[in-house]
Amino acid sequence: MKTKLMSVLLAAAMLSALTACGGSSGNQPSTESNPPASEAPEKTDETLGVFHKDATLDETVMVDEGGVKITATGLTYTNDSVELGLTIENNSGKDLSFISGSLGYSCNSINGYMVEEGYLNCDVANGKKANDTIRFSYDALMLYGIDEIADLEIGFDMTDDDYNHTYSGPRQVKTSAFDAHDYEMNYYQETITSQAAQNTYEYEMAYFSQDTLYEQNGVKLLSSGLMTNRNGETALLLELENTTDSMVYVSTSDIGINGLKVNSSTWSTHAINAGKHSIVDVQLASVLDPAWWDVYGISEVGSVSLSLGQSNGDGVELAADTPVEIVIPDASAAFDPSGQEVYNSSGVRILSKGVYADPSGLSADLNVLLVVENSSGKNVTIDDVYDSLSVNGYMTSYLCSSQKLGSGESAVLDIELMDDSLEENKIASPSDVQEIEVGFEIKEGSTTLDEPTITLPFGE
């Protein structure tokens, strides 16, 4: 299976994708007529209103330390975004790069909600100044229920030429709308469930719940929802609140669909500032390619499972991985575990689903799809033996991610055969594959239980 670690920067990609395909800059959010989140919205032609552009920001010093001074100079509204102006002064004695909202450091929030917007990359030589802006598109804010700027929290990563990093932590600036803004109201829930938002951005909230399915170490799950866009792509949305007085990093892992584990490794990590909300987004089409859903007998999403873990900024565990399952009422939570048995020993079984062409059509890669079943009574990990795979007797380059299974669990195992190696061996399509041989290692913790070499027969 392809390994895909979702970064903080991509955490709200589903929301961005949906907003990008709906409405113009004149169709922007308002929560004035949205129904309560607990009520199903009536089917109407209502659409969202406009983003309010009245809030102003007085010049405010955000950072003044170690010879570095960062000043917020004001807000500017364009047709499709609001921009925070900055003046950066560097008298630190070193040339510095200033970064915000990046893959490596992102702790920006607006009105109490963590946002994935706010990218900055600015180099300032020692003794110099620079003017720059941080941009927040209306489209990226609207599904959070943000239709005005009451406050912003921005974090800066300051790096010298020797790659020494200084992290500012979130620094807040307040606008003229701050005092009148109601921070007790859940604008996200009001907006995401509204018929107006669904009409505007052409999605359906197939399921929404305010059940508290997770509460650990001061971090609480406030809501969960299943959103499907107009292309039929589905995302799980989890709303988390950090009630502690410190930033917490929340990770997702062990993602399963309808009881079939699809990804065991860490899928994403999200920084949540003290007292803030974060919308964790799991795009199910990214976890398991939609082309393989039929192969595994998934006709609709009846349940999504995952584990949530917590750590601090130094990587120290604050709360162990805790399983959470979201069950969608009246939906089938079935998958098809059948296939050609290629291994069965000590309660671990491997079945082949066949060889398939790259569904995107963008490469000549081939995918070997397997199902692993664990009834051993043990928690096991299954991984390939490095560089052990051959196709039709020829060594072939490939990718395969490990899977962790508890007893009674089943999991997807996807081996991707690389196109350049296949071409060298004169293999152009699934029908050219007659036999695959690959080694696996099955372990309980650090103890190897078995190390079989498995033959997968194909063709006549």
Q: For residue range 315-334, list pLDDT tens digits in order.
A: 999 999 999 999 999 999 99
Lowest mean pLDDT among 47-51, 157-161, 175-179: 47-51
CA 83 to chain centre: 25
The pLDDT score that the predictor gives to residue 15 is: 45
| Two structure tokens written together for 385 | 């033996």
The pLDDT score that the predictor gives to residue 40 is: 52
CB atoms within 10 A of CB 164: 10
Cα Rg for the chain, rounded, in angstroms? 25
| Two structure tokens written together for 411 | 């999991």
Across 171-185, average pLDDT: 97
Q: What is the pLDDT of residues 215-270, one digit of tens each?
A: 999 999 999 999 999 888 899 999 999 999 999 999 999 999 999 999 999 999 99
pLDDT at residue 1 is higher than 70: no
Considering only residues 281 and 14, tell me which one the structure prediction assigns the higher pLDDT.
281
Rounded to whole angstroms, the maximal C-alpha distance in the chain is 75
DSSP for residue 445: T
Query: What percent of the chain stands above pLDDT 70?
Result: 91
Q: What is the pLDDT of residues 108-121, one digit of tens each?
A: 999 999 998 889 99
pTM exceeds 0.75 for this model: yes
pLDDT at residue 8 is higher than 60: no
User: One-letter amino acid identity for 69?
Assistant: K
Cα gap 256→382, rounded to integer Å = 16
Distances (CA, A) of 375 to 325, 346, 350, 379: 21, 8, 12, 9
Q: What is the pLDDT of residues 77-132, one digit of tens each?
A: 999 999 999 999 999 999 999 999 987 788 999 999 999 888 999 999 999 999 99
Q: What is the pLDDT of residues 398-412, one digit of tens each?
A: 999 899 999 999 999
Considering only residues 202 and 28, tell me which one the structure prediction assigns the higher pLDDT.
202
Q: What is the pLDDT of residues 368-391, one digit of tens each?
A: 999 999 999 999 999 999 999 999
Cα gap 280→12, rounded to integer Å = 7
The DSSP secondary structure of 34-50, one letter per residue, reads PPPTTSPPP--------
User: One-letter amino acid identity for 63?
Assistant: V
Residue 328: partners with Cβ closer than 8 Å, 6 or more residues away: 206, 207, 226, 301, 302, 303
Cα gap 65→168, rounded to integer Å = 9
Distances (CA, A) of 2 to 61, 123, 310, 356, 365: 45, 35, 25, 14, 12
Cα gap 415→367, rounded to integer Å = 6
Cα gap 308→251, rounded to integer Å = 6
Cα gap 398→366, rounded to integer Å = 9
The DSSP secondary structure of 185-236, one letter per residue, reads S-HHHHHHT-HHHHHHHTEEEEEEE-----EETTEEEEEEEEEEETTS-EEE
DSSP for residue 391: E
- Show the DSSP H helices in 387-458 as ranges: 419-424
Q: What is the average pLDDT value for the chain, to the nearest integer? A: 89
> Residue length, the chain?
460
Across 173-189, average pLDDT: 97
pLDDT at residue 200 is higher than 80: yes
Quick check: helix, strand or coil at residue 230?
Answer: coil
Across 306-312, average pLDDT: 96
At residue 445, φ and ψ (nearest 5 deg) are: 65, -125
Helix (H) or strand (E) run with residue 235 in it: strand 234-242
pLDDT at residue 11 is higher than 80: no
